[in-house]
Amino acid sequence: MKAIGIILAGGNSERLKSLCKVRAIAAMPVASSYRAIDFALSNMSNSSINKVAVITQYNSRSLQDHLSSAKWWDLDRKEGGLYIFTPFLSSDNNFWFRGVADSIYQNISFLQRSHEPYVVIASGEAVYKMDYQKLLDYHIEKGADITIVTKNADEAGKDPHDYGVVTYDEDMKLTGFEEKPIEPKGNDISLGIYVISRPLLIKLLENAIPKGYYDFVKDIILRNKNHLNIYGYRFDGYWNTLNSVEAYMQTNMDFLKPEILAELKSEPYITTKPSDDPPAKLNSTAEVKNSIIGTGTIIDGSVSNSVLFRKVTVSEGATVNNSIIMKSSYIGKGCVIENAIIDKEAVISDGKQVIGSADDPIVITKGQVI
């Protein structure tokens, strides 16, 4: 094995409103069957990276159940396998993770004790299918010190002002990197996925953290960009990150598009902890159009342009349009649900209406009864 993996799953976002109050972003349910972190984890194992650390901090409990066994990603290995790192107290450290670089540094023994030459660092909060092995081959071929994965902002449907903007020369060698620039010089945004050699990462961390530099982009990449060979790698596949209610809605709705659904359904598969629900059941009055339906869901009403998770009930006469309904939520008789995100275990009583606007979906909190 040429590389070990680090998945960054520590974050939360104000912009996810109540969705993120009860879970880390990496634990956000996606496309009916999955949680966000399934994508990075499956990408790792599908790329033959068999030693993977997940670094968590914010509401790490929301990930614990999901990661309680690593076998769903073939990471229940005797050699390597899955490591979960949360902040802890010890005689010489009593800090929370003070930044991404610090979160890796606090677990530096994971790097020191490995013997694989490279490290793939990936975000656990993005939804995408990527062959890290190809990325690794590219990194080696370029003779790069660090490779940064980027994507065209228009293609990704993102505003470059909100992301790290990368510029490079015709050989893909980095010429500039600006975090959330006021005047972006390019249109390629960083996806927060990096390859770096393991000894170099250890060295850079050891030079930064004791001096109080805790951020990965600013203190590890930008600080060293003039004396390191940094290359960009353009990713063409589907990618979205779950950093706001709008992005969350968009990501789920994207799976209703045939080409994106086909990408998700193609091999190698994204895998997840199985849930053992029976098949979805559509009764005689059900009407379902352009929607994804999770297992164990029972439908008597009508559902269109929506993503329904597992064990949802849509009662007779209810209509659900352009909405996301999470696990075990109940939609009563005659309800109207439109442009809504209904978090799990919510109950919408008979005849109630939950209607948001197309550009500002209404969010119903986990367990809320209406």
Partner 1 sequence: MQKKEMMAMLLAGGQGSRLGILTMDKAKPAVAFGGKYRIIDFPMSNCVNSGVDTVGVLTQYQPLTLNQHIGIGVPWDLDTRNGGVSILAPHQTEGEKGEWYSGTANAIYQNIDYIDANKPEYVLILSGDHIYKMDYAAMLKFHKQNNCDVTIAVLEVTMEEASRFGIMNADENDKIYEFEEKPANPKSNLASMGIYIFTWSKLREALIEDNKIHADSDFGKHIIPSMLNKGMTLYAYRFKDYWKDVGTIESYWAANMELIRTLPEFNLYEDFWKIYTNSNLQPPMYAGANSEIKTSIVSEGCQVDGKVVHSVLSKNVTIEEGAVIKDSIVMEGCHIGKNVVLDRCIIDQNTVIGDNVVVGAGDNVPNEAKPAIYNTGITVIGSNTTVPDGIEIGKNCVIYGKTTADNYTDSKLPSGQNVVILEEAI
Give residues in contact with partner 1 (CB under 8 A): 31-33, 71-72, 255-256, 261, 264-265, 269-272, 274-276, 278-296, 298
Cβ-Cβ contacts under 8 Å for 29 (sequence gap 6 or more): 35, 309, 326, 327, 344
- DSSP states along 90-141: BTTB-----SHHHHHHTTHHHHHT---SEEEEEETTEEE---HHHHHHHHHH
Interstrand relation of 313-314 and 298-299 (parallel, antiparallel or unpaired): parallel
Q: Between residues 176 and 278, which has the closer beta carbon with respect to partner 1?
A: 278
> Shortest approach of partner 1 to residue 296 CB, angstroms?
7
Cβ-Cβ contacts under 8 Å for 190 (sequence gap 6 or more): 148, 149, 150, 163, 164, 165, 166, 177, 217
> Shortest approach of partner 1 to residue 133 CB, angstroms?
21
For residue 89, the 8-state DSSP code is -
Q: Between residues 71 and 173, which has the closer beta carbon with respect to partner 1?
A: 71
> Shortest approach of partner 1 to residue 63 CB, angstroms?
19
Residue 201: helix, strand or coil by DSSP? helix
Q: Between residues 93 and 275, which has the closer beta carbon with respect to partner 1?
A: 275
Interstrand relation of 330-331 and 347-348 (parallel, antiparallel or unpaired): parallel
Cβ-Cβ contacts under 8 Å for 141 (sequence gap 6 or more): none
> Shortest approach of partner 1 to residue 37 CB, angstroms?
16
Q: Between residues 91 and 284, which has the closer beta carbon with respect to partner 1?
A: 284
CA-to-CA dists, residue 288 to 44, 224, 283, 335, angstroms: 35, 54, 11, 16
> Shortest approach of partner 1 to residue 53 CB, angstroms?
23
> Shortest approach of partner 1 to residue 62 CB, angstroms?
20
> Shortest approach of partner 1 to residue 312 CB, angstroms?
12
Q: Between residues 101 and 318, which has the closer beta carbon with respect to partner 1?
A: 318
Q: Between residues 180 and 281, which has the closer beta carbon with respect to partner 1?
A: 281
For 147, other C-beta atoms within 10 Å of its C-beta total 25
How would you label 302-315 residue by residue, b for 16+ Cβ within 10 Å and e otherwise? bbbebbbbbbbbbb
- Kindly report the length of the chain: 370
Q: Between residues 32 and 56, which has the closer beta carbon with respect to partner 1?
A: 32
> Shortest approach of partner 1 to residue 14 CB, angstroms?
29
Interstrand relation of 126-128 and 239-241 (parallel, antiparallel or unpaired): antiparallel
Q: Between residues 164 and 294, which has the closer beta carbon with respect to partner 1?
A: 294
Identity of the residue numbered 273: K
Q: Which of 271, 368, 365, 370 is nearest to 22 (CA)?
A: 365
> Shortest approach of partner 1 to residue 309 CB, angstroms?
8
Angle at 127 between CA 121 and CA 130, to 5 degrees: 60
Q: Between residues 140 and 347, which has the closer beta carbon with respect to partner 1?
A: 347
- DSSP states along 166-198: EEE-TT-BEEEEEES-SS-S-SEEEEEEEEEEH
Q: Between residues 93 and 283, which has the closer beta carbon with respect to partner 1?
A: 283
> Shortest approach of partner 1 to residue 36 CB, angstroms?
15
Cβ-Cβ contacts under 8 Å for 369 (sequence gap 6 or more): 346, 347, 349
What values do phi and psi take at 29, rounded to 5?
Answer: -70, 140
